[in-house]
Amino acid sequence: MEGINLIAHNDLKNPATEAYRVIRTSIQFAQAGKELKTLAVTSCIPNDGKSMTAANLAVVLTQAGKSVLLIDCDMRNPTVHKNFNLSNKVGLSSCISMGTALSDAVQKTSIEGLYALTGGVIPPNPSELLGSEQMKNVLQRAKEQYDYVLIDTPPVMPVTDALIVSRFVDGMILVIASAEIKVEMARDVKNQLQHAGANILGVVLNKVRSEHHGYGYGYYYYYGSKEVSNGEGK
């Protein structure tokens, strides 16, 4: 499989895969009577690992018997089609701007239970499209058809797209690259998301040096007071 390392699919016994399962369990516990079907993954800046987190989390959700739709909302720099070796001729931008039916745009991946809505042709006005009534309709139809809808959004700092999407989803997961993002920037991003009305479920701290675990570089996932080592990553 091309693109990012889908370690949750390729190595079921890897500690990183188990860590993604912990994130899955945390999300399930976080529901507590609330509906958490649409989950957006974002980061502070590019290359923090948000797309890898979204894809692997989607995989472990399917391993729990759930149907999952992964939507590429990073229409400025779409990657889902590359990561899953799919066509990008028709995608989210087609559904919003041209009225393409969701069923005609969604593609089945090689992973059982995992479907993808790629970004589609890059539009000149991504922010306007993501904030439109048509975008809300796409998400509503997706919620009706899949157990979970995972949304890969652009980083918060360069553009407003993630803040716009945060108003339409049940929860947000923030990915932060350790030693690359200053505390002040992370706080600023958190404040921006909260000001936009986002329900921040937790933070994935990426690129953590964790020799004491013997896994090299990895992640940590923070959910409430819990901290979980999350294996290797780019």
The predicted structure's pLDDT at residue 134: 95
Select the more confidently predicted residue: 213 or 52. 52
Q: In this model, does residue 214 exceed pLDDT 70?
A: no
| Mean pLDDT within 170-189 | 88
SS3 for 52?
helix
The predicted structure's pLDDT at residue 207: 66
| Mean pLDDT within 157-177 | 92
pLDDT band at 78 (very low <50, low <70, confident <90, very high): very high
Amino acid at site 14: N
The predicted structure's pLDDT at residue 48: 85
What is the secondary structure of 26-41 as a DSSP string? HHHHHHTTS---EEEE
Does residue 25 sit within a domain?
A: no
CATH number at residue 140: 3.40.50.300
Distance of CA 190 to the CA centre of its chain: 16
- List the single range of 6-10, 77-81, 155-159 with lowest mean pLDDT: 6-10
Does residue 4 sit within a domain?
A: no
What is the secondary structure of 122-159 as a DSSP string? PPS-HHHHHTSHHHHHHHHHHHHH-SEEEEE---TTT-
Cα angle 85-160-194, degrees, rounded to a multiple of 5: 110
Does residue 219 sit within a domain?
A: no
Which whole-number Å values give the CA distances from 39 to 14, 17, 32, 95, 123, in the listed order? Answer: 24, 19, 16, 19, 23
Tens of pLDDT, residues 82-122:
999 999 999 999 999 999 999 999 999 999 999 999 999 99
Does residue 142 sit within a domain?
A: yes
The predicted structure's pLDDT at residue 178: 75
Does residue 68 sit within a domain?
A: yes
> Over the Cα atoms of the chain, what is R_g?
16
Nearest-angstrom CA–CA distance, 190 and 197: 11
Does residue 80 sit within a domain?
A: yes
Does residue 95 sit within a domain?
A: yes
pLDDT band at 161 (very low <50, low <70, confident <90, very high): very high
| Mean pLDDT within 42-70 | 93
Q: In this model, does residue 175 exceed pLDDT 50?
A: yes
pLDDT band at 135 (very low <50, low <70, confident <90, very high): very high
| Mean pLDDT within 18-27 | 85
Select the more confidently predicted residue: 73 or 224. 73
Q: Most confidently modeled of 48-57, 133-142, 181-190, 225-234? A: 133-142
Token pair, residue 134, equals 């048509």
The predicted structure's pLDDT at residue 15: 75
Cα angle 12-15-17, degrees, rounded to a multiple of 5: 45
Domain count, the chain: 1
- Its domain, for residue 147, covers 37-206
Q: In this model, does residue 29 exceed pLDDT 90?
A: no
Does residue 223 sit within a domain?
A: no
